[in-house]
Structure 1
């Protein structure tokens, strides 16, 4: 699977979505009573340990000046990652896997909204409608007769994830993604370690196991995105990532015995359908532009 064709890129992204959902499964398996800050710290530690050999290899092959590029943004993203990781643990501990993931999938909509505000990207009525439907879908999924901390955490996680994703635009494009991921996680260690020390919970070997396995799954997801989006236009394959919601339904039922009700299915449609439409719209636009470009080339050649 090279990722050079649309079909192989889609397959890689589907596998990546599976690993992302599997990461959520292991986080949820850590349990309601897990030491949240300690767990987050160990996740950052394991990600650094796994990525360290790759980062060193990239460092030795690249100019020394490349290693220090974008440190400010890596530092900011690393500390935001700690907040996102904490919110993720809280929401997954209380909410069913499918419910939490359905709320998480509002992040792409928030990215588009934040992009129009912070980067002055064009905001169309389609995007506004997608945002409104996504908000309605979130309400249908959660059905908040009473507001719980887990519900708030799931929504805040989507917001923080969207903000951190937008900051990727600030990172130097010539820098390796995996090297950048290592630096980001390295900068997350002081805050995560300080919070774990302040938490003062006793060490449990189970936390170490779940943190290690979830970190591996998280890195595999990042690698799949790196390969899946490298050679193919993102608009042609991005809808493959929504397969993660299907995996959340299946793994939630298989591992935790959770049976999503009709409200979760309907709410998920409100969230995912507009995103699929926007992706399909971009594909049509790219095809139209390509056709016009080919027509001009043929006219010029004639």
Structure 2
């Protein structure tokens, strides 16, 4: 699974989606009464412990002048990670696994909307339609007869996830992704630790198990994305990540005895099908561009 071909990249991303869903499972297993800030802090601690040896190895091989490039960006992403971790834990405690994950998959919609706002990216009629259908999907999935904190947390998590994803574009090219991820997590520690201290919850040893397992799964997902998107165009393989919703349905049913109703399935279609259509349009555009390039090269050669 080198990720150098489309088929191997898709396989890597499907595996990554499984780990991402498994991460949610371990967080949800911590229970509805878990100390949210304490769990978030220990997740950051374990991620730093895992990533630090890799970061030190990368540091020894990079030019030392590049080590502190983008430090403000890593600080911002680290604190956004803390916010996302808190929102993720709250939403998973309050919502069924499949329902929460269906809302999380609206993140690409927010990426497009935030990209248009911050990077002045053009919004086509198809993108606007996908956004509107996605929000209709959220309403179908959540059926908000009353607004709960869990619902709000799930939507806000998708927004924060989208913002953090957009900031990846600004990560210095001179730094490896794993090094940057470690620095980001190191910056997450102070705010996560301060929130855990402010929370004042008594220490629960079981929380270490869930924090460690979810951290391993989270890093595995990050590595899968790094490999899956490294050699092939993202539009050709990004749809593979939606396999995570299937894993959420299956693991929610098997692990927590949750049976998603038809509203979750229908709402998920409203969210995912427009995004798959946009991905297909991207692939067609790339192929047309490549075809035109090949034609010009042949004409020039002739």
Distance 1:6 1:159 in 2: 29
Q: Match of 1:292?
A: 292
2:128 corresponds to 1:128: yes
Q: Distance in 2 between matches of 1:18 and 1:253?
A: 15
Alignment of structure 1 residues 218-237 onto 2, 5 Å: 218-237=218-237
State the alpha-carbon separation in 2 of the partners of residues 163 and 225 from structure 1.
17
- Residue 150 of structure 1 is matched in structure 2 by 150
Alignment of 1:61-140 (within 5 A): 61-140=61-140
Q: CA deviation at 1:174?
A: 2.2
Q: How far apart, in 1, do the equivalents of 2:153 and 2:3 lie?
A: 35
Q: Which runs of 5+ in 1 are unaligned?
A: none
Structure 1 residue 170, shift from structure 2 partner: 1.6
What displacement does 1:167 show?
1.1
Following superposition, the deviation at residue 291 of structure 1 comes to 0.5
Cα deviations by residue, 1:117-172 (Å, 9 ceiling, x for unpaired): 10011110100000000000000000001111000000110111111111111211
- Report matched runs for 1:1-302 at 5 Å: 1-302=1-302
Q: Structure 2: how far apart are the matches of 1:150 and 1:3?
A: 36
Q: Secondary structure at the match of 1:49?
A: helix
Aligned counterparts of 1:211 and 1:86: Cα–Cα separation in 2? 13
Aligned Cα root-mean-square deviation (Å) = 0.5
Q: Give the Å deviation of 1:243.
A: 0.4
Deviation string, structure 1 residues 159-193 (Cα, Å, up to 9, x no partner): 11111111111211221000000000000000000
Q: Secondary structure at the match of 1:4?
A: coil
Q: Tell me the distance in 2 between the aligned counterparts of 1:154 and 1:301.
A: 55
Say which SS state the counterpart of residue 73 (structure 1) adopts.
helix
Report the Cα offset of residue 297 of structure 1.
Answer: 0.2
Question: Partner of 2:161: helix, strand, or coil?
Answer: helix
Q: Give secondary structure in 1 for the equivalent of 2:173.
A: coil
